[in-house]
C-alpha cells in the first residue's frame, strides 16, 4: 500500500476516535491516526490502525484534498489542534470537527479557515462508543463541495435505516453542530421522562427493579421502542451480587453542557422548550444532594402513599408516550425556528430521517416523526397526525401527573410537557393581565390585537 495516500486522518484516539478509526478500516478505507498520548497510539496500532509520528507527519501522508477528522474535547483543544494543523494544509483541504462543539464556535472556525481556502465541517456524531464502531448517526454542516468530498466515507461509516445512511448535509457553517446540540437537548428530556416513569412505578406502584425491567422491555417491543428504552430495561435487570446495580449508583447526574446550550439558544430564539428545561434543572437539583438530604430529614420528605391512586400500566405507557412525543416536538420546533433565523437549509423530515438509527434518540417515535414532518410549514403541534396522537394520550399524562403531585412525587419533565400542551391548546391566556401590569408600572403600552399598535391607559394608583 502507498503509505502517502491515506484516505483520511484522525486526530484523537480516545474511545470514540479509536472506534471510528476501526469503523473506517472495516469499510475498506485507509485511515492514519494520531494522538498526543503514546499509550493511545499503541492501543490503536494493536487494532491495526497505523499512527503518524506527529500531526505534520500525518498531514504529509494524506491524499489530496486532505481530509482530517478531529475527535478531541470541545473548546480550546479544537482551536489548538486547528492551529497546529492549518499551516501544513493547502486550499481545498478539509478539517472536520466530530466533537460536541458549541455551534457558534464552529461558525467562527468556519469563517477563519475559509480565509485560507480551507474547508471546515462541523460534524455532529451521535451513538456513543458503540455507535462509533458499528455505525453512528451524523449531521454535517459547512461547504457543500467539502461534504461531497467526504460523503462516500461518511455514508459508509454511518448507521442505516431502510438502506438509507443516517448521515446528511444540514446546510452552511455550523448547522451540523446546531442539529447535534438540539439532538442532545431532546436526549436530556427523553432520559428524564423515562427516569420519572421508573420512579413512579417503584415509589407509587410498588414495582421491583426486575418487574420494571420486564415492563420496559415489553414497551420496547411496541410503539415506545427506542435505544433509551432498551438500555433502561437492561440497566434495571443488572445486579451486582444480590443487589441491583442501580442501588450502588449515586443519584446525582452530570452533564457536559450541550443540553444547557439547547435551552439557552431556545431562550435567544424565543422558543419554549419546557421539557428540556425541566430535565436540565432536575440534573442541577440532583447535584445539590446535601441540601436534598437535609431538607428530607427536616420535613420528612417521604412519599405520601395514602394519597396515591393505583394506576394501570396502560395509562403509564400512554403518559410516557405523550411526554416523549412533546419533548421531540419542542426540539423540532426549535430546529424549525433556527433554520429561518440562521439560514440553515435542513428540513425537519431530513433531520428526523438522520436520527432513525444509530443515534441515542433513535426510536419508533422519531421514525413516525420523519413521516409526519414531511413538507411541514407550520408549528409541529398543528400537524394533524401529531395533534391527533396527543389528544388520544394526553389525559393519561394528566392523570399520572396529578396523582403523583398529590402524593408528593416530583415528575417535573412530565409536568412541564403537560403544561406546554395545555398552554398551546388555550385560545385565551391570562397574559393580558401581564400586558396591563407592564403598562401600569412602566408605561410600556399594550396591544388590543396581534397586529395592533401599542396604546396606553391612564391608570390610577390604588388607594390602598
The active-site residue out of 27, 90, 134, 180 is 180
Q: Supply 301's cell numbers.
A: 420528605
* Extended strands (E) in 242-393: 243-244
- Cβ neighbors of 154 (< 8 A, separation 6 or more) are 123, 138, 140, 165, 167
The active-site residue out of 67, 187, 317, 353 is 187
d(CA 442, CA 38): 64
Could you tell me the strand order of the sheet in which 119-126 lies?
31-34, 8-11, 67-70, 94-97, 119-126, 137-141, 167-171
- Cβ neighbors of 314 (< 8 A, separation 6 or more) are none
CA atoms within 13 A on the CB side of 189: 33
3-state secondary structure of 33: strand
d(CA 390, CA 330): 13
169: β partners? 140
Supply φ then ψ for residue 137, to 5 degrees.
Answer: -95, 140
Q: What is the DSSP letter of 451?
A: T
Whether 86 contacts 27, CB under 8 Å? no
Range 147-151, long-range pairs (CB < 8 A, 24+ positions):
147/121, 149/65, 149/67, 149/94, 149/119, 150/8, 150/67, 150/94, 150/96, 150/121
Q: What is the DSSP string of 171-238?
A: ESTTHHHHHHHHHHHHHHHHHHHHHHHHHHHHHTT---HHHHHHHHHHHHTTTT-BHHHHHHHHHHH-
244: β partners? 239
Q: What is the DSSP string of 310-327?
A: ---HHHHHHHHHHHHHHH
d(CA 201, CA 214): 12
- Cβ neighbors of 300 (< 8 A, separation 6 or more) are none
d(CA 212, CA 199): 10
Q: Known catalytic residue: 180? A: yes
Q: Catalytic residue numbers?
A: 180, 187
Amino acid at each position: 500500500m502507498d503509505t502517502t495516500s491515506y484516505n483520511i486522518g484522525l486526530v484523537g484516539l480516545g474511545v470514540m476516535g479509536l472506534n471510528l478509526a476501526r469503523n473506517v478500516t472495516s469499510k475498506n478505507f485507509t485511515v492514519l491516526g494520531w494522538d498526543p498520548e503514546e499509550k493511545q497510539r499503541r492501543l490503536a496500532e494493536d487494532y491495526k490502525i497505523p499512527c503518524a509520528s506527529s500531526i505534520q507527519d500525518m498531514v504529509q501522508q494524506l491524499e489530496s484534498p486532505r481530509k482530517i477528522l478531529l475527535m478531541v474535547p470541545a473548546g480550546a483543544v479544537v482551536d489548538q489542534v486547528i492551529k497546529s494543523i492549518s499551516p501544513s494544509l493547502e486550499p481545498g483541504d478539509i478539517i472536520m470537527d466530530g466533537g460536541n462543539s458549541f455551534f457558534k464556535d464552529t461558525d467562527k472556525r468556519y469563517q477563519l479557515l475559509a480565509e485560507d481556502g480551507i474547508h471546515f465541517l462541523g460534524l455532529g456524531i451521535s451513538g456513543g462508543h458503540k455507535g462509533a464502531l458499528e455505525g453512528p448517526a451524523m449531521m454535517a454542516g459547512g461547504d457543500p463541495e467539502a461534504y461531497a468530498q467526504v460523503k462516500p466515507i461518511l455514508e459508509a461509516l454511518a448507521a442505516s435505516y431502510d438502506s438509507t445512511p443516517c448521515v446528511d448535509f444540514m446546510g452552511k457553517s455550523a448547522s451540523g453542530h446546531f442539529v447535534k446540540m438540539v439532538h442532545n437537548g431532546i436526549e436530556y428530556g427523553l432520559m428524564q421522562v423515562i427516569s420519572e416513569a421508573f420512579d413512579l412505578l417503584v415509589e407509587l406502584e410498588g414495582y421491583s427493579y426486575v418487574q420494571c425491567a420486564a415492563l420496559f422491555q415489553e414497551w420496547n417491543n411496541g410503539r415506545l421502542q427506542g435505544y433509551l428504552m432498551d438500555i433502561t430495561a437492561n440497566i434495571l435487570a443488572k445486579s451486582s451480587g444480590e443487589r441491583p446495580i442501580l442501588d450502588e449508583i449515586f443519584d446525582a447526574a452530570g452533564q457536559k453542557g450541550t443540553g444547557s446550550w439547547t435551552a439557552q439558544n431556545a431562550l435567544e430564539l424565543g422558543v419554549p422548550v419546557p421539557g428540556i428545561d425541566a430535565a436540565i434543572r432536575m440534573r442541577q437539583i440532583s447535584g445539590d444532594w446535601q441540601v436534598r438530604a437535609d431538607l428530607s430529614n427536616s420535613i420528612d420528605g417521604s412519599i405520601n402513599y395514602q394519597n396515591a391512586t393505583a394506576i394501570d400500566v396502560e395509562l403509564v405507557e400512554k403518559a410516557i408516550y405523550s411526554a416523549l412525543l412533546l419533548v421531540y416536538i419542542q426540539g423540532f420546533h426549535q430546529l424549525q425556528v433556527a433554520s429561518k433565523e440562521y439560514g440553515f437549509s435542513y428540513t425537519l423530515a431530513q433531520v428526523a430521517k438522520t436520527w432513525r438509527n444509530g443515534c441515542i434518540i433513535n426510536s419508533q417515535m422519531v421514525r413516525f416523526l420523519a413521516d409526519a414532518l414531511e413538507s411541514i410549514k407550520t408549528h409541529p403541534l398543528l400537524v394533524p397526525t401529531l395533534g391527533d396522537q396527543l389528544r388520544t394520550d394526553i389525559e393519561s399524562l394528566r392523570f399520572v401527573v396529578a396523582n403523583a403531585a398529590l402524593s408528593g412525587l416530583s415528575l417535573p419533565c412530565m409536568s412541564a410537557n403537560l403544561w406546554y400542551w395545555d398552554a398551546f391548546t388555550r385560545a385565551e391566556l391570562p397574559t393580558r393581565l401581564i400586558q396591563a401590569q407592564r403598562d401600569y408600572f412602566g408605561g410600556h403600552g399594550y396591544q388590543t390585537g396581534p397586529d395592533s399598535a401599542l396604546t396606553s391607559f391612564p391608570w390610577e394608583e390604588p388607594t390602598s
